[in-house]
Amino acid sequence: MATAKNYVIDTNVLLDDPCALLKLRNGNENKIFIPYHVILELNKFKKDPKLGHIVAKVIEVLIDNPDNFNVLKSNVIAQPFTNLVDNYILDEIQKSGLERPILVTNDKIFQFQAGLRGIHSETYKESVPFKSEAEYYTGFVDKDEKRITNSFMWNDQRKPVFIGINGERVIDYQHKVWNVVPRTIYQNLALELMKNSDIQIVSIQSEAGYGKSHLALAVALYLTQEKRSHEKIYVIKPMIEIGTKLGYLPGNINEKMEPYTRYITDLTLKLHRQRPANRLFLNNGNAIPQFDPKRFELLPLAYIRGMNIENSVAIIDETQNLSRTECRALLSRMGEGVKCICLGDIRQVDNPYLSQENNGLNWIVNKFKGNRIYAHIVLKGDKSRGPITDLVISSGL
């Protein structure tokens, strides 16, 4: 019988593979130890735009598997971590003399640190509408379930049936929008919702590569350039990575945002090549077309306050990185004649203060589900951005 090994895990290992401690433990064969300073390092990295979502996953694994590891306590804290506010708050709680104090915080790492000191903590319950509502409700209901307005169900012939405010109808046709042909039945149903004039707000949830942005931009071009039922396209994005750096980048707002919205520009130009959208661009003779700000505008979330958006298509990208308050502030800017399309992936929450449950996309689905002007769908299927993306998704890389 092999001798049990005592593994001490460093921060970089957990960031490389959040499930490393479970793999190294190999069932109950080995023992896992995590230095307290690793927890402090994770706390430091939680606001990093590139690492925040990985740190959140690491902490999720630690909280869900408390019996699979031990934390190596330390009586001395390294200098870079001694002045962290969280440490002072925990000290104040411990010295308060309160009987069974309960720390209320949505910060998972802070909860974990409190537990190490014997302080009970809870999540603020009003912050979590329902666990992963945006994933559990896929836009479909079973035949025997209560009907939800603007949802789908499968009939006996395995064809999707749309349950709208005017009754039920079978979707046995394929959409083609701005020369974009849907690759999957779910993409086709997403187009059905976005083209429906009775539905003013649609949310689309999926992993990367299933065409959320491509489909939304195609519909936006269709509504503004072909049907001309709307006058302008807004693409609104929470600038998690740009944060405080926005003011230090050179140029105007479009130039500041360009590194973070290039994929939107590339997708729009791709659609422009498939079918010309000349009215969308300025006629200035540049080799690279520039958007006409009267018809197409990319906006960071911070620029929305005080605006009144009307007669436009508003695409909100990365809705999962919006808080409930930000969602309320943003959606309350939508006036008459707006088609709002909210895109997101609740498994890619980069905002360090949000989680898979407590995020804008989840709140929208939870609060709006069943309303006559709202619809939601989760994109699935085998085909996505391309064969490499398909391989990444199917292999679980």
What gap in Å lies between CA 55 and CA 24, rounded to an integer? 19
pLDDT for 48:
76
Q: Is 114 within 8 Å of 63 (Cβ atoms)?
A: no
Global confidence as pTM: 0.74
pLDDT for 383:
59
The pLDDT tens digits for 277-315 are 988 988 766 666 788 889 999 888 877 877 899 999 999
Distance of CA 363 to the CA centre of its chain: 12
pLDDT for 255:
63
What gap in Å lies between CA 128 and CA 87, rounded to an integer? 26
Query: Which residue segments constitute the domains of the chain, with CATH numbers given?
Result: 6-123 (3.40.50), 133-395 (3.40.50.300)
pLDDT for 245:
46
Intervals of the chain under pLDDT 70: 1-2, 49, 125-135, 239-260, 284-288, 382-385, 393, 396
pLDDT for 376:
96
pLDDT for 127:
60
pLDDT for 314:
97
Please name the helix (run of DSSP H) or strand (run of DSSP E) that holds residue 110, with its range, or none.
Answer: helix 108-116
Give the burial class of 309: count Cβ atoms within 10 A of its Cβ; 0-12 exposed, 13-18 middle, 19 or more buried. Answer: buried
Q: Is 127 within 8 Å of 358 (Cβ atoms)?
A: yes
Residue 86 corresponds to which tokens in the numbers above? Answer: 């969280």
pLDDT for 133:
62
The pLDDT tens digits for 316-366 are 999 999 988 889 989 999 999 999 999 999 888 877 777 777 889 999 998
pLDDT for 185:
94
Q: Is 260 within 8 Å of 241 (Cβ atoms)?
A: yes
pLDDT for 246:
46
The angle at the Cα of 198, spanning 197 to 200, to the nearest 5 degrees, equals 80
What gap in Å lies between CA 126 and CA 128, rounded to an integer? 6
